[in-house]
Structure formats: structure tokens, C-alpha cells
A and B are shown apart, each in its own frame.
Chain A
């Protein structure tokens, strides 16, 4: 029983962190209808930067999100204005190829400047735990989870309480109607891309403490994030939240009770099954392109 509770608790903590990482992907998709394959590479880029910051200045990796998030916001903005925007209006698959190319560029860049080796940030608390009865709560996971909750909460407020946020939501629900009521498509899209990137800024900082990483790790991460977003519904924030929790729990529970080897396959099967049976995911609205 304790083992089960332990697995559930760990699953929820991981799920919260996954949710933060996936939020950027789903936000970008919602507004731009672009699957940003580079989101995983963003995470690794930030993780590497955070690691470097931590090694050289000793700034706490999770707290350094305060620095990395604005930087990623800027990078996302620039990337959108000068690269991604050029292919707006082209077939969906071209945007996948483009962001895939961006992911490769980031991977290659990290290979060159940081070298192809495993890293992980190890602040003093990374191996300590809070103990609640028989249950152990690893501090790093707890801090990461809290940071994720704070950022997701902030994102929620931003999307519901500010004009820019409402513009993003409006555009993601109905782009042409949003344009009709005077919401600038480009500015909104750039804002969404930048916000999505910024969320990777926080996610990457948390990742640097929790998981060892190296430049090519982004493939693992993007496939995991895609699974979450597909499950929850592409473009839906609550969907990403639920999808992340489901997959976080599924991961710890299959690792505890099932076969480790096949658990990854189950993961891909979930992606495929959901895309086939309910392409809009658990929470997503049916896309217009699916109807026509």
C-alpha cells in the first residue's frame, strides 16, 4: 500500500512538472496551429544554460528560471518574427519540418559549445527528501512541482485576466473571428510563441536538476510532451494539465507494477490510439480542418 501511495505521489509531482513543459507546446499549437518540435530542444537548451549558470555563479537552478524565462521569451519572439512567421499559410507539415530543423540546429549548437556529454545540476537539496509518514517527498521534485504550479497559475491569470491573454484565447478558438474584431494576428501569434518558449525557460531550469541531459535528449522530451498534448487535446491548456497527470501517473505505476521495457511502447500506442479515436484529445475542440 505504501508503495502504491508512494508511486501515486511521485506520479503527481512529475505530472505537474510535465504539465508546465507541455503548456508551451499546447499554447503555441492553439494559436499558431504549429506543432513546435523544437520545444524539447528549448528545454535542453535552457537546462544546459541553467547548468552553466549554476556552475559559474552558484545561482539555484530552479530559481534561475527568473532569468531564463525572460531570455526564452525574447528568443521565442525573435524566432517567430524572423523565422517561423515566414511559413505561415503553408501546409502544416512544412511547419513540422521547420521546427524539426530548428531542433536540430539547437542540438548541433549545444554539441559545439557544450560538448556531447551528460550533465545535471546538483544543488545541495537535490538528494534530500521530506518525509511524511512512510512517504518520501524528494525535495527537488517538490520544489520543481511548486515552481510549475506557480508558473501555470500565472499563465492562467495572464490568459484570463489580461487583454493580451484574452486575445490569445480568442485567436486559438477562432482565428478569423479574432482578426475580425481587431486582434492583430501577428502580434498575438508572436506573443503566444514567446510565452510558449518562456514556459520552456522555466521547464528547462527544473529539468536540469531532476534529470541528467545531453544535447540529443530532446528527442525523448519532445515525444513525451507530444504524448501529453495529444492525449489532452492539442491546443487545450486544461487538457495538457490532465494529460500530464495521467502520463506522469502511468509512468510511475507501470514502472512499479508493469514491465519497464514495454512501458515506452504503451506510451506511443496511447498517442496513436488517441489521434485515431479522438483526434481532438480529451479536452480539445474539433479542428475545422478535421470537419471540412
Chain B
């Protein structure tokens, strides 16, 4: 059974889309990430135009982020003050991201840019995860007893505009979370990702936030940044395929639920190793597609309707 996607303007099997949503959702649930960074490349592989893939993924990411932000809200594991700061930074970032997106689209370089961004991002994250998983695996037999400090002080802590974050027990410059969330907002605007896989480690290692409030706070930011990216893409480029997003998130919510149930029974470092391999494979495929000689060096692009 195929469904005609009104914005992507192609017919795709509905089971393929639900399966894709469920599969990516499951992986996201297992690893505790949103999975947006896997969704966009897979949509591109099945023939969705990259610009539509990015904007629709941003739309779909909202659902999963609301689900987890809601559950963190009930467990009171959100630093609200920090959340508003990173939402503000993320909003400005997504504004800039969508602007850059439009500029690149005008010059006919958006497809290249999206692919290259994913190659760099997935390649980097994949390598880091592979290294980390291998290290954990090797270290397992000799556990170290030394307890590390909460966070190290470095040049960033000398920045002005210091602010207190009682929930996180921090007294840091407001510029740090603002810059960080701006960068993540950029990613969201240009690549459609929620950015949790960047935000979570950065909050822990760069800002020094306590681990238990990090996922919830990051999810609040993802909700608002993905929402603003979706809205801006819809207004400026009309590339949000709501039908596509809705089919994907239907599969996604179910998949991510079972993924998170499963994650409690599986061994972390082996799974992380597998995810790293998957990321590297996707990055490799994107890279290959960019370098393979096209059938026709010429292509037509029709103007944006309006």
C-alpha cells in the first residue's frame, strides 16, 4: 500500500515509513537519543528530497521529545532556569540555521551541504562512540576506584554575566549555555536533528551539570528548538511534509517505547559499538553517493512555488 506524500511529491509504501519510524525510534529508545540524525539520511536513501527530509524530521522529532520531556517533568528532573536559557539560545540558532538553509538552497548547494554535514557529524560521533565502547570493554576487568571531581575549571568559567542555577548547583556565565544551545539550534535548522546527542554530553562535560537533570533539560530544549525549526521551515520554504512526519512518529513512539524497555536488559558497550558501526555505515554511504559519477552532470530544479 503506497501513500502519496503531498510535499515530498512522491509515493512511498506506508509500511516502509512506519517500519522506518519504528526502527529509528527503537534505536533511539535503546540508546536514549532522539534518532533524528538517523532519520534524515534514511529518508534521503528512500528518495525523499533532502530539503523535505530535514524539515519533516524536525517536525517528527517534536513528538518523541514531548514524550520524554513530559516524563522528566513528572519526575522533577528538569532545571527550568537552564531550560529557558538554552531554549532562547536554541531558538536564535534555529532561526540562523533556517536562514543558512534558504541561502544554500538558492545557490543550489543545499543537497550537498546536508549530505556533507551528515558525513562529518555521523562520522565524528561514530568514531567517538566506537573508541569509547572499545575502551569501556577493555577496562571492564579492572575497575578504578578513584572518584572524579564534578567538573574541571577552565577558561570558559572566566566569562562575564555569571548566573546562578540552583537546581544544577552551578554558578557559571550565561554565555556558555547560550553559545552551546545556539550551535545546537543551527544543527536543528540545517539538518533537522534535535541535537540531543550533542547537547547531553556538552551539558555534562562542558557546563558541568549534574547527570540526573541533563536529559530532561535537554529534552525541553529539543521540544522548542525542533518546533521553531519546523515552523520556520514551513513558513520560509514549505518543505514540512506533515503527513510524512505523522506516519513516521506513529511508528516512532511505539518503537522508542519498546527500545527504552529493552535498553534496561541489554549490555551498553556492545550496543554502543553496534550503533557506532551503523553511524559509520550511513556516513560511508552518503560519502560514496557524493563521489560516484552521476548519470547526468546536469539537473533541473524548479522554482519554489508561491
Instruction: Tell me if chain B binds chain A.
Output: no
